[in-house]
Structure formats: structure tokens, C-alpha cells
């Protein structure tokens, strides 16, 4: 298989999986009243742990006032909480509440359901091939620089 063919296949997989994931996330945003940007913050906090507001500004590529307003709305919705940083009261840490964590776990459960359904339709040989290949692809993807430029 040519590299261009492999790239095209991976792009098709990425498109398909993104569409499925966004479908799940959109259903959750409608039900919870959260925006996609707020869901992104919840996911980031789930995977990275508590973060200070300035870190979220950089990650979300939103101005400090915009980030502060978004966090305030999320506090009011009960999905995140702000805490003082030990040793520096000027720094505010943002963390998931129990409700925020439940929303993310529900989202991940929805994703897992369609992933399991998709892969259950593969032959054992195809699943074995993915098991041996995907970790290397994930490792390579983790090295991609996604910092804002």
C-alpha cells in the first residue's frame, strides 16, 4: 500500500470517528446546556487534572476575560469549581465537580459503545493487527506539537 493510500484511509477514519464523537458530544451539550468550548474544558480537566485559569486561556486560545467568563458560567452550572492555589492566593485553580466528571464519563461511555460496536465487526486477525499497530500510532500522535502558535 502506498503512503498516500494509507494517509487517505487514516483521514477517512479520522473524519468518521470525529463525526461519531461530535454526534455524542452534541447530544450531551443539548441536554446539559453546555457549549462545545465548555465540553472541551471539561475534557481537558478530566485528562490533565486541575489547571489554573491562565493555562486554560492558552489551551482554549481564548482571551483571559473570555476564559474567566466561560469558567464563571461553568461554576454557575455546577460542572467546575475554582479554588485558591496554595501559596499564591492570586492564582485560581479550576477543577471538575462531581457533576462535571459524570458528564465526561457519560461522553466517554457513549464513545466506547460505538467503538466496541465497530471493532466487534472485525475479524480476530484484523483486531490483532490493530492491537499491534495502534499503540505505535498513538505514541507518534502524542509527540505532535499542539501548542497554540
pTM: 0.83
Q: Give the total number of structural domains in the chain.
A: 1
**Span 27-71, pLDDT tens digits:** 999 999 999 999 999 999 999 999 988 888 888 888 989 999 999
Q: CB-based contacts of 38: which residues, under 8 Å, 6+ apart?
A: 29, 70, 73, 74, 77, 79
Q: What is the dihedral of CA 104, 115, 36, 105, to 10 degrees?
A: 0
The domain containing residue 55 runs over which residues? 3-111
pLDDT-derived band at 148 (thresholds 50, 70, 90) equals low
Assigned domain for 61 exists: yes
Domain harbouring 16, CATH code: 1.10.10.10
Tell me whether residue 46 is in a domain: yes
State yes or no: pLDDT of 106 exceeds 90: yes
- In this structure, is residue 123 part of a structural domain? no
Amino acid at each position: 500500500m502506498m503512503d498516500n493510500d494509507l494517509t487517505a484511509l487514516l483521514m477517512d477514519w479520522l473524519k468518521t470517528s470525529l463525526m461519531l464523537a461530535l454526534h455524542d458530544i452534541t447530544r450531551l451539550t443539548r441536554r446539559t446546556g453546555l457549549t462545545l468550548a465548555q465540553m472541551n474544558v471539561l475534557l481537558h480537566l478530566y485528562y490533565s487534572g486541575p489547571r489554573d485559569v491562565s493555562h486554560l486561556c492558552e489551551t482554549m486560545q481564548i482571551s483571559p476575560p473570555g476564559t474567566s467568563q466561560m469558567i464563571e458560567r461553568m461554576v454557575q452550572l455546577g460542572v467546575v469549581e475554582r479554588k485558591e492555589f496554595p501559596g499564591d492566593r492570586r492564582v485560581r485553580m479550576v477543577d471538575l465537580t462531581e457533576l462535571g466528571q459524570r458528564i465526561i464519563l457519560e461522553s466517554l461511555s457513549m464513545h466506547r459503545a460505538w467503538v466496541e460496536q465497530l471493532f466487534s465487526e472485525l475479524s480476530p486477525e484484523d483486531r490483532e493487527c490493530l492491537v499491534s499497530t495502534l499503540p505505535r500510532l498513538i505514541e507518534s500522535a502524542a509527540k505532535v506539537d499542539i501548542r497554540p502558535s
